[in-house]
Amino acid sequence: MSRNHPDTDTVRAALALAVHAPSVHNTQPWQWRVGDTTVHLYVDEERGLHHADPDRRDLLISCGAALHHFRVAARSFGWHTVVHRFPNPDDPRHLAALEFVPVTPTSDVVSMARAIDDRRTDRRKPTSWEVPEPFITAMIAAGVAEGAMVSDIPGGATRIRLVEAFRAASSEHRADRGYRSELARWSGRRADTEGVPARNAVASADPLTREFHASTLTEAVLHDLDDHGALLLVHTGSDDALSRLRAGEAASAVLLSATGFGLATCPLTEPLELPGTRALVREDLLSDSGFPQIIIRAGWASTSAAPVPATPRRPLAEVVRPLE
C-alpha cells in the first residue's frame, strides 16, 4: 500500500461494498472509473426510469447513496476521501472525483461499514415498538453531516396527510400505463443481477408500501397495528443536481446508522415522483421552503419476521472500469 493512495485490492474491496448501495427499483445507475490515484463516479443515464423518475431525482439520489457507501468503505480501510462533486462543468454525468488521504478509522466508521452488508430494504410494516429518541437524533445527525437536512416527520394530522399523499401517488401511478410497464420491466421478474425480485416485495395494505409487479414476501403478523416506525424526511435548500447527490449521501448515512441500531429500514419516494403529491408534501412538511428528496422509514421488525433476502447486484466488471 502506498502512503498516498490505496492499492488496487483496497479500492476494489471498497467498490465491492459501494455497489451494495440502495437504488430506485435496484437500477444500480452508476459507473465507476479507477485511475492510478483517483476514483471517479459517473451516472449511467440509460438506467434512468423515464416514467417513475422523469426529473432524474431518484437517479441522482441512488448515485449519492453509492458515493457515500464508497466513502464509508474506504474510510473503514484507512482512507479518507477528498470528494470533488461535479468536477467537470462540461460533463454533468461525471458526479464525483475522489482523492485519498490516509486516516486511522474510528470505531464509528467501522460499524457503519459493517452495516453495509446487513442493510436491506424491508417493506414490511414495522412493529408498534417506539424507536428511541436518541436513535432518531443520531440518524438525523448522520444525515445532516452529509450536507442535507433531515427532519423527523411528526405523527398525528401531519402523518395522516402524508399517508393521503402516498395513496394519491399510488393511484396516479396505477392509472399510468407507462409507469406500470416500466415497473414490470424492473420488478417481479426472475432477474439475476438487477431489479426488485418478487421475494423482496410485499403485498400489503400499508399505503406507504410501493406496489411492485409481483410480490411474495409476506407481511409480518402484528398484534398491535399502530405503526411507530420513524419517518425521516431528507430535504435540501435547492433542487439542483448537486442537492440531489448530497441528499443521496445523507439518505445512505441515515440508512446505515439505522441499520447499525438494528432497525429495519425502507426508502420511500413514490409521492415525491409526481409534481402534485410532491407539492403537497413540500407544503405540509416544509411550509413550501426547501425541497423534499426522500423519506426513510426506520422501525423495529417483528421478532417473528424472517430476514429479508439480499437483492441481486450487477457484477463489478459491469460497473467498474479503468479510467481512460
Ligand X SMILES: Cc1cc2nc3c(=O)[nH]c(=O)nc-3n(C[C@H](O)[C@H](O)[C@H](O)COP(=O)(O)O)c2cc1C
User: Is 23 one of the binding residues for ligand X (CB under 6 A)?
Assistant: yes
Please, which residues have CB within 8 angstroms of residue 137's CB and are 6 or more apart in sequence? none
CB of 1 to ligand X, least distance (A): 30
User: Is 123 one of the binding residues for ligand X (CB under 6 A)?
Assistant: yes
315: DSSP letter:
-
Total H helices, total E strands in the chain: 9, 9
Q: Which of residues 60-79 bind ligand X (CB under 6 A)?
A: 61-62, 65
Residue type, 302: S
User: Is 236 one of the binding residues for ligand X (CB under 6 A)?
Assistant: no
CB of 169 to ligand X, least distance (A): 9
CB of 39 to ligand X, least distance (A): 20
d(CA 55, CA 63): 14
Binding part of the chain for ligand X, among 58-66, 130-138, 175-183, 277-285 by CB under 6 A, reads 58-66
Q: How many residues bind ligand X (CB under 6 A)?
A: 21
CB of 26 to ligand X, least distance (A): 3
User: Is 268 one of the binding residues for ligand X (CB under 6 A)?
Assistant: yes
Which cell is 248 given? 443521496
Interacting residue with ligand X among 11, 26, 40, 71 (CB under 6 A): 26
Q: Where are the beta strands (DSSP E) in the chain?
A: 30-34, 39-43, 79-85, 94-102, 149-152, 230-236, 264-268, 291-299, 320-322
**Which residues sit opposite 30 in a β-bridge?**
43
CB of 148 to ligand X, least distance (A): 13
User: Is 267 one of the binding residues for ligand X (CB under 6 A)?
Assistant: yes
CB of 120 to ligand X, least distance (A): 4
> Are the C-beta atoms of 150 and 233 separated by less than 8 Å?
yes
When CB distances to ligand X are compared, the closest residue is 22
**30: nearest Cα among 224, 321, 266, 252:** 321
> Would you tell me which residues interact with ligand X (CB under 6 A)?
22-26, 58, 61-62, 65, 120-121, 123, 196, 210, 266-270, 294, 311
